[in-house]
Amino acid sequence: MRGIICAEVERFEWTANLPEPVLEAGHAIVSVKRIGICGTDLHAFKGNQPFFSYPRILGHELAGVIEEVGFNEQGLHVGDQVSIIPYLHCGDCIACRSGKTNCCTAMSVLGVHRDGGMRERISVPVACLLAANGLTLDQTAVLEPFAIGAHAVRRSGLAADETALVIGGGPIGLGVMAIAKHKGARVIAMDVNDDRLSFCGQWAGADALVNALHDEPVQRILEACGGELPSVVFDATGNAKSMGDSFRYVAHGGRLVFVGLVKADITFNDPEFHKRELTLMASRNATREDFATVLEALSAGAIDVSRYITHRAPLAEMIEHFDGWLKPESRVIKAMVEL
């Protein structure tokens, strides 16, 4: 079958000779219909993705249709449209036993630790499939990136009467904003790009916008929050400097959530950290519960996928488009590969 392999840093290979998946117990064969391009894919292509080795078939934001499946407790059948939960967990470790399957000690993510969905068909454990017959293929494919945001919001304990600062107006940050607004919170968006900030306001409904380069961030945030800092701050940049600076923006007694991942050390001023009695959290991946939250938000019309997906290409043409998607002037929010 056809597919694309990331053979090494900055080199894709098109092939029509990938082996067909074979149905095994507890799995389903899924015909891939949509592949969302994520920051993880971009970092892997550029050689900046932690926990990554080459060659690798990328693709973990996936929508498809079941081609083959045996009897299963989920009640899935051939022809069902599904979203793939790409986080394959062991079920036995301390994290899994406590329900934190998203940070399993033996975590294996499709498209990162093992080959993903940038091909015509893939074998997936039935337990990692979520029925999405009521959604479009585009909506189904973006369940995963929005679930990342939903998990971060749930982990933070954000309440409807709180204000959240979301740093980073990329696809993940936008998802955090959308879910936070859906929960009833007030949202301040911060980025270094005015076009992105404008999109945060128009698309995600951000209540205030802060340009970290042109504004004095702390003062602008205080103005937007009536003289106080926000009780919850999400950093979705994957940028070490931004993540280090983010400690300055959190209210005393507040929570700071790192949604983005960077291949670097993060440093902060310990007296400021202790003075504020901050809670620092990492937010990794998502759980089925978070996918369900996004499914509900999509069904309620709270997330406009049509404007979120800005660029498209068929699988056979993806390689020639990929370099362009990396350039800031292309203004990509979410690129989608179609089969």
Per-residue pLDDT of the chain (339 residues; tens, 9 = 90+): 999 999 999 999 999 999 999 999 999 999 999 999 998 898 889 887 777 889 999 999 999 999 999 989 889 999 999 999 999 999 999 999 999 999 999 999 999 999 999 999 999 999 999 999 989 999 999 999 999 999 999 999 999 999 999 999 999 999 999 999 999 999 999 999 999 999 999 999 999 999 999 889 999 999 999 999 999 999 999 999 999 999 999 999 999 999 998 888 999 999 999 999 999 999 999 999 999 999 999 988 999 999 999 999 999 999 999 999 988 889 999 999 999
Joined tokens for residue 319 = 């390689």
Yes or no: say if 257 and 123 are a contact pair by the CB < 8 Å rule: no
Yes or no: say if 243 and 259 are a contact pair by the CB < 8 Å rule: no
pTM to 2 decimal places:
0.94
CB atoms within 10 A of CB 68: 15
Instruction: Report CA-CA distances (Å) from 79 to 12, 27, 72, 135, 232.
Output: 31, 15, 14, 14, 42
Joined tokens for residue 52 = 């990554």
Contacts of 36 (CB under 8 A, 6+ apart): 61, 62, 141, 142, 144, 145, 334, 335, 336, 337
Instruction: Report CA-CA distances (Å) from 264 to 74, 113, 244, 260, 267.
Output: 40, 20, 11, 12, 10
Per DSSP, the three-state class of 50 is coil
Bridge partners (DSSP) of residue 5 are 13
Q: φ, ψ for residue 210 (rounded to 5)?
A: -130, 125
